[in-house]
Amino acid sequence: MTATHTPWYRDASVLGALALLALLYAAPIAWLFDYWMNNLDHSIGILAPLFSAWLLWMRRGLLASLPVTHNTSGFGLIVPGLLLHVAGLVSGEYLLSGLALPMLLHGGSLWLEGKQRASVMAFPFWFLLFAFPFFDTIEIYLSFPMRLASTIFAQGLLAPFMEVTRSGTELLTPNIDVAVIASCSGLNYLSTLLMLGVVFAWLTEDRGSGRFILIALTPLIVLVANGLRIATVAVLGYVYGRETALGFFHDFSGLLVFALAIVLLFLAGILVHRMLPAPEGLETKARPRSDADLPSH
């Protein structure tokens, strides 16, 4: 493969732009790192920039083979991105800066590197959104619907086998009443599994429809796994009593929910891959895992 050599001043301009971006994002990055360290539910966000960096590294050979051009359409992302970032700095709402980050990176790559290179780097840049805790801002809107859906699903699982009624987000059985509170909504798993679902879909599916289906199934998988957890707690309480159900198992079941959701996601990936026929003449999208996977010219 023949690499495209760029003038030194072009490389210097890219490095300068990255240095300026790092300076502009000093405060948001410090805030984000502190958030990762002090909020266990979102600590997986630290993996987002690592995964993005890994993707870019794996595509270095492909990037080197593409011509370097200019594309002023990048300013269509740079200008609103800067405005969002400034608003975030002034207001202290660093989530605005988080939303602006992929806009600035994508827009900057369009302007300095051209459309072809920017398209290769687009997904790693936009994946950085998972580093920021955006779900915290919509938790109040999602928590109750997820609790209600999980409770309804759990009731449906239990109804054929035991006496159970539902009152809102509470399951009522003869031996135990299981109240599904906000911390048991499954929302804390949703952002994590959605991030993993995007990674899984991107690495295992070359078809856009397959990726979309896998990502769209992620919230449903969380609801199913959380509903199974609630149903299991109710069964244990019904058979062994309240202390058994709300003791060790209740505390440990969070890990089981996450593990079950991962298994369901994997099974969904297999099902989607088998059910969606590959179109004739489908060419695998260029997502090389290493330079050795790249074709020679």
pLDDT tens string for the chain (297 positions)?
Answer: 444 555 656 667 778 888 888 898 999 999 999 999 988 777 888 999 999 999 999 998 999 899 888 889 999 999 999 999 999 999 989 999 999 999 999 999 999 889 999 999 999 999 999 999 988 788 778 888 999 999 999 999 998 888 888 988 888 888 888 888 877 788 878 888 899 999 999 888 888 888 899 999 999 999 999 898 888 888 888 787 777 667 666 667 778 888 888 999 999 988 988 887 765 554 444 444 444 444 333
Amino acid, single-letter form, for residue 285 = K
Describe the strand order of the beta sheet including 170-172 as a list of residue ranges. Answer: 165-167, 170-172, 177-179
Sign of CA pseudo-dihedral 234, 238, 242, 245 = negative
pTM for the structure as a whole: 0.80
Quick one: pLDDT at residue 245?
Answer: 66
Q: What is the pLDDT of residue 248?
A: 65
The pLDDT assigned to 275 comes to 83
Other C-beta atoms lying within 10 Å of the C-beta of residue 290: 11
Strands 165-167 and 177-179: unpaired
| Residue 6, pLDDT score | 56
| Amino acid 287: pLDDT | 45
Q: What is the pLDDT of residue 292?
A: 42
The letter for the amino acid at 55 is L
